[in-house]
Amino acid sequence: MSNFVVSLPGTLKAPLTPETRGKILAALQGTDPHEVAEGESADLDALSLNPDTSTFTLRLEVEAENSGTARAEALALAESALRGAGLDEQSAPLGNPVITAIDVN
């Protein structure tokens, strides 16, 4: 098994309220990347928002056998967090997940 950091871009169709942001972050707790390589600390937020363009990026750390599984798991986690915060695929569509770091154990 390897640890993957997966980035998922998205677009918000309406402003993100502090309450909604809090729900998303709570749902993703434990998946935010802390290390990108052995001993190398990462300063990555699970949710980054660009308010000028209403775009966002979710960065999630998942453990998986391969990159395809990692992308699928990250996408499922992201969709669940967004839906749990009241954002459907029309109000917060996601782009394709991208592997941005791998730590092979």
* All structural domains of the chain with their residue ranges: 2-104
**Fold type of domain 2-104:** Alpha-Beta Plaits (3.30.70)
**DSSP secondary-structure letter at 38?**
T
- Model confidence over 13-59: pLDDT tens digits? 999 999 999 999 999 887 766 544 454 545 567 899 998 889 999 99
CB 1 within 8 A of CB 92: no
- Tokens for 50, please give them: 């660009």
Per-residue pLDDT at 12: 95
- Alpha-helix residue ranges (DSSP H) falling in 1-105: 18-27, 67-84
Q: How far apart are CA 16 and CA 26, in angstroms?
A: 15
Per-residue pLDDT at 35: 47
Q: How far apart are CA 99 and CA 12, in angstroms?
A: 22
